[in-house]
Chain A
Amino acid sequence: MTRIEIMDKLRDILTMAMGDASAELLANCTEDSGLTTDLALNSVGMLYVVIAIEEFFQIQFDDVGFGDFNTVRDVVDYIEKKTK
Chain B
Amino acid sequence: MKWVSRSPVFGDMLRVRAGQIYHFGIYASDDEVIQFGLAPIARPNVPDRDVEVCVSDIAAFCCGNEFEVGECDTDAERRIRRTPEQTVESARARIGEKNYSIIHNNCEHFAYKCATGSPFCSQTLSVREMFRAFPIVDLYIIKEREDERALLEYAINRSFGKKPADAALELVDGVWNSSVCKIAVARNCGALAICVSRADIKLELDDVIGGEEYGALDGVWIGKISLDGMSFKAKIYTATPERVRIYTNISI
Interface residues of A (CB under 8 A from B): 1, 5, 12, 16, 42-44, 46-48, 50-52, 54-62, 65-68, 79, 83
The answer to whether the Cβ of B160 comes within 8 Å of any Cβ in the partner chain is yes
Most buried by A among B21, B131, B136, B160: B131
- Taking a contact as CB atoms under 8 Å apart, the answer to whether B101 and A61 are in contact is yes
**A46 — which chain B residues lie within 8 A by C-beta?**
102
List residues 101-128 of chain B with CB under 8 A from any CB of chain A.
101-104, 123-124, 127-128
**A16 — which chain B residues lie within 8 A by C-beta?**
131, 134
**A60 — which chain B residues lie within 8 A by C-beta?**
104
Given A1-B158, A44-B21, A61:B127 Cβ within 8 A: no
**A57 — which chain B residues lie within 8 A by C-beta?**
160-161
Q: Please, could you name 5 A-B residue pairs with CB atoms under 8 Å apart, sorted by A?
A: A43-B21, A43-B102, A46-B102, A57-B160, A67-B48
Q: How far is the CA of A52 from the CA of B128 in the complex (A)?
A: 7
Q: How far is the CA of A57 from the CA of B159 in the complex (A)?
A: 8
- Taking a contact as CB atoms under 8 Å apart, the answer to whether B131 and A52 are in contact is yes
- Taking a contact as CB atoms under 8 Å apart, the answer to whether A47 and B102 are in contact is yes
Interface size, B (range): 20 to 34
- Taking a contact as CB atoms under 8 Å apart, the answer to whether B40 and A55 are in contact is no
**A43 — which chain B residues lie within 8 A by C-beta?**
19-21, 40, 102
**A1 — which chain B residues lie within 8 A by C-beta?**
157-158, 161
**A65 — which chain B residues lie within 8 A by C-beta?**
47-49, 100-102
**A62 — which chain B residues lie within 8 A by C-beta?**
101, 104
Given A42-B20, A66-B102, A47:B160 Cβ within 8 A: no
**B49 — which chain A residues lie within 8 A by C-beta?**
65, 67
Which of B47, B128, B157 lies in contact with A51, CB distance below 8 A? B128
